[in-house]
Chains A and B, each alone.
Chain A
Amino acid sequence: MADEFAKGLGILTTAGLVWMAVSSWLTTAGFESTQLVAPPPEDLGTYGELAILVREVSMWFAIFGALAFWVAIPAGREIQRARAERREEA
């Protein structure tokens, strides 16, 4: 239980940190306007586009990673256990 939680948390925080770093550079319009989720500027160049890609990837990795370890894997184990119990009963 605890290790699944820690793995999910690790993924969420690490990927979230990468997402936040890129977002603060490229998709922050200003301190007093939209922060982190503003649309990226037009002419970014190759590296800028790459950074935006990294931003997208890290965001989905954070979301799906946390979901996988906190929800999907424990749920899968519960289902397996329930099936095994049913098999024993039968």
Chain B
Amino acid sequence: MTDDTTTDGEPRTDGGTGIVPQDDQAPTWTERKARTQGLARLTYEYFERSRREDEDLRHESDYVERDVLAFPTWPHEMIRNLAITSFFIGAMFFISAAIPPHIPSPANPDATPAVILPDWYLYWSFGLLHLDPINPELALLGGEKLMSDRVYGVLANLVVVGFIAIVPFLNKGSARRPVEEPFWAALGVGGIVFAFTISVLPVQNLVAETFPMTVPELFTLTFILPVVAFFLTYSVLKTMREGYMFELNRRYYRLRPPK
């Protein structure tokens, strides 16, 4: 049948590829999809259903204006951003012209420099490698450490990044402003302070030279300061919250009075 170029009596000019133009007899896209099996059919059914749900919700909705879920990226946000970022890019060119980078002496594997540091944005990670004083010792293993200090440092990095990654799954809801959620805002401020204190940790020698402070004191401070920052932020936001939420709710209900 496929070899025969004149199956239905009409001569074919396309060499009989089997590709026929769509006519009334051909199944529509919907029919074709509906006939599929398994996962493809499941996908199709879900999309049909969700589209119908959307339609229903739209019919039920009594908002005349668009129900605002987000700010449009294009064109509002993009054009505004381009205006602002052009200014910052100008500042960047100014800095590059005014403050040229430094080139240190060439690599010398035999001479260890006094200060070994990565670029500034890796300080926090570098600091997490210096956590060996709190690497837990197991009494069962006779005071031996469960893992080497280095493994512990790498693990600390993973834990920090992993925790940040799961934040959206821990903190849900529609609250946006820090005052609405003092706990999470305080956690964020504590995290920022911790990023700074842990960055100072690897240069403990320099700190001990400049400030009257021993290394264990610095280590303690590294963990105390973030906690202090946490409680400070928490209490400040809690105090602000009442008045702030009142204003926010008043504005909200003035626009959308409760039924």
Contacts and interface: CB of A to CB of B under 8 A. Distances in A.
A24 B99 contact: yes
Interface in B86-135: 91, 94-95, 98-99, 102, 104
Contacts of B91: 17
Main secondary structure of the interface of B (DSSP, over half): helix
Main secondary structure of the interface of A (DSSP, over half): helix
Contacts of B102: 31
A25 interface: yes
Size band of the interface chain A makes with B? under 10
Size band of the interface chain B makes with A? under 10
A87 B104 CA distance: 67
Contacts of B104: 31-32
B83 to A, nearest CB: 16
A59 interface: no
Interface string A14-42: 00010011001100000110000000000
Nearest to A24: B99
Interface in A31-67: 31-32
5 closest Cβ contacts across the A-B interface? A21-B98, A31-B102, A24-B99, A21-B99, A31-B104
Given A17-B95, A21-B98, 11 more contacts: A17-B94, A20-B99, A21-B94, A21-B95, A21-B99, A24-B98, A24-B99, A25-B99, A31-B102, A31-B104, A32-B104
Interface of A: 17, 20-21, 24-25, 31-32
Interface of B: 91, 94-95, 98-99, 102, 104
